Amino acid sequence: MKNLKPGLCSLSAIFLFALLNAQEPVIPVREPDYSKPLLFHQLPQKIECRTHELLSLLQATKGQEIDLDLALNFKFRGTVTSVANKYNGALQSVVIRSVNYDGAVLSFSKTTDEYGVIKYSGRILSFNHGDALEITEEEGRYFFIKKSLYDIINE
């Protein structure tokens, strides 16, 4: 019996440690799929935006059909799925699901800070494709810059 106590204590300790390790959460991680087809392969790396076309989107209503010339040789057609105007117009936003770029969604926002400075932001992306377009500002002009989908989102 004397030899049985240390063995049972050791076995109990091993069982306790195994039970404690089993309680650690396992975080699922999806690896990026870099083999997804490219949606915007025919477009140049950098495209100057026609901001007046983008600004017209902020007047759209949910369900409205949109047909835009966002840049030279870059038509975007779709349906408005969401419109927001918050904080007395300091944040205006629109989301459009494309009909000519399979699975793509355009989100565009206009923000005005407390000093009246206006900034535009947005992107066009599809989770079914490996590339995306993001609006960036350079010296007061706005451009669509082509990026990898995984440079914009984490999976």
CA distance 124 to 133: 5
**Between 35 and 96, residue with greater pLDDT:** 96
Beta carbons of 59 and 133 less than 8 angstroms apart: no
CA distance 102 to 117: 35
| Four-residue CA torsion sign, 9, 12, 16, 22 | positive
Tell me the HSE value of 134 on the side-chain side, using a 13 A CA sphere.
11
> What pLDDT is attached to residue 115?
93
What's the average model confidence in pLDDT over 114-127?
A: 93
CA distance 91 to 25: 38
What's the average model confidence in pLDDT over 63-85?
A: 91
Q: What is the mean pLDDT of the chain?
A: 85
